[in-house]
Amino acid sequence: MDEMEVLASGEGEFRLLDPDAAREWISQHRAKGLVNKVVTEQEAVARFVSDGDYVSWDLADVVRGPLSLFREIIRQKKKNLWIAHRFSYLIVAWLYMGGCVGKVDIGFIYMSRVVRNAIEQGKLKVIDWSNFAMTSRQMAGAMGIPFLPTRNLLGTDTFKTSGAKMVKDPFTGKPICLVPALFSDVALIHAHQCDIYGNTRIFGPGLNPRAVAFSSRKVIISAEEIIDPEEIRMNPGKTTLPYYCVDAVVEAPFGVWPGTMPGRYSMDPEGWREMFGTLDNEEQLREYLDQYIYSVPSHLEMLEKRVGAKRLVQIMVREKNREGYY
């Protein structure tokens, strides 16, 4: 009577989380001391992103997305990554073109011609969930539990393509959906501010930055600015993440260029048009990656040589809505 009967199972591939194994990993690898974690983006990606890693991040790409870190991942030609994706316009196209991606969990994926062709021709493996299903999976990972019950996905083909299960709730006897916990290998989070230890501040709405960080083995923060640790302690209510869940801190001013960091700078119309214009054609996209990634050794040199101070000042001026941030 009391057993939890499985009524239906989705067919989507997912990586099973053993919460005890995750606990053990965390207890062995999370440094609890206050150590300076500031490194270059080259070092952060070389040390903390491996071929085959399961990669997650918060929010979109052109809004507070960790684009400078993704550019470095492409520059270092990481291979076979599994992307825990909710919504983005360009990240999957870039990673696919760079030969970095193995498979992609999907909430919503912008159907540029390049991505659409790749999926339709069977060159890019995708696993459809939904935005909230992915978010719930990360929440479960962050809670240290193997799954979470939700009341969506039920009755749909999205359920079938996902790895969710429909079970009989042992308390009420009614059907409910269970989504398996997601515990990524590395989380990339772009923040407004961070101190050298990893105490992180993110302003404005997000998807679930805390859950993304706490449901990942390794966490790289790229921050618009690195601030004094005393400033963190003077206003602890503003802290999004405490230092001990962060492995590396990268200073990345304009890290979202050509996208926007809400409350700090707007998108760059020129860079935006150029970027979007290349997403529908493999040849043009390859040239774009050459120009903005492979031919420049770092994010700062990309800004200096390909964008220039004038446009960076302009996008700071263009961001008019600053209320509520910082």
Partner 1 sequence: MNKEIEFTETELMICVASRTFENEKTYVIGFGMPQITCMLAMRLYAPNLTMAYEYGTIGPRLQAYDPILMAGSADNYRAVAWMDMNWLFWQCSTGLFDYAVLGATQVDQYGNINSTMIGEDYSRPKVRFPGSGGANEMGSLCWKTVVIMVHEKRRLVEKVDFVTTPGFLDGSEGARERVGLPKGTGPYQVITSKALFGYDEATKKMQLQAIMPHTTVEDVLENMMFRPVLAEKIERLAPPAETELKLLREELDPKGAVIKAGPVIKLKV
Torsion of CA 41, 61, 182, 151, to 10 degrees: 160
Of the candidate residues 19, 102, 144, 204, the single one contacting partner 1 (CB under 8 A):
204
Residue in 67, 90, 133, 315 binding partner 1, rule: CB under 8 A:
133
Q: Residues 206, 208, 210, CA angle at the centre, nearest 5°?
A: 115
Residue from 102, 263, 284, 306 in contact with partner 1 (CB under 8 A)? 263
64 binds partner 1 (CB under 8 A): yes
Give the nearer residue to partner 1 in terms of CB position, either 198 or 209. Answer: 209
Helices (H), the chain: 19-29, 41-48, 67-75, 91-97, 113-120, 131-143, 157-161, 209-214, 229-234, 269-277, 282-289, 299-302, 309-318
* Closer CB to partner 1, 152 or 298, in the complex: 152
* Side-chain-facing half-sphere of 223: CA atoms under 13 Å: 27
Is the distance from CB of 212 to CB of 57 less than 8 angstroms? yes
Give the one residue of 3, 27, 32, 174 binding partner 1; rule: CB under 8 A: 174
User: DSSP states of 138-183 as a string?
Assistant: HHHHHHT-SEEEES-STTSHHHHHSS-EEEE-TTT--EEEEEE---
Rounded-to-integer distance, Cα 191 and Cα 194, Å: 7
Task: Decide if residue 297 touches partner 1 (CB under 8 A).
Answer: no
Kindly state whether residue 62 participates in binding partner 1, applying the rule CB under 8 A. yes
Question: Does residue number 205 form part of the binding site for partner 1 (CB under 8 A)?
Answer: yes
Residue linked to tokens 């200096």 = 304
Query: According to the binding rule CB under 8 A, does residue 196 interact with partner 1?
Result: no
Instruction: Establish if 154 lies at the interface with partner 1 (CB under 8 A).
Output: yes
- DSSP for residue 17: P
- Residue range at the interface with partner 1 (CB under 8 A); choices 20-28, 73-81, 103-111, 301-309: 103-111
Structure tokens belonging to residue 198: 């990893």
The residues in 105-124 that bind partner 1, with binding defined as CB under 8 A, are 106-111, 116, 119-122
d(CA 67, CA 254): 9
Residue the block writes with tokens 């790749």? 118
Q: Which stretch binds partner 1 (CB under 8 A): 19-27, 76-84, 185-193, 207-215?
A: 207-215
For partner 1, the closer of residues 49 and 104 by Cβ is 104
Q: Which residues contact 317 (CB under 8 A, 6 or more apart)?
A: none
Q: How far is the CB of 77 from partner 1 (least distance, A)?
A: 26
> For partner 1, how many residues bind (rule: CB under 8 A)?
63
Residue 170 beta carbon to partner 1: minimum distance, rounded to whole angstroms? 14
Q: Which is nearer to partner 1, 100 or 177 (CB)?
A: 177
Which parts of this chain interact with partner 1 (CB under 8 A)?
A: 59-60, 62-64, 87, 89, 106-111, 116, 119-122, 125-126, 128-133, 135-136, 139, 150-158, 161, 166, 174-177, 204-209, 211, 260, 262-263, 266-267, 319-325
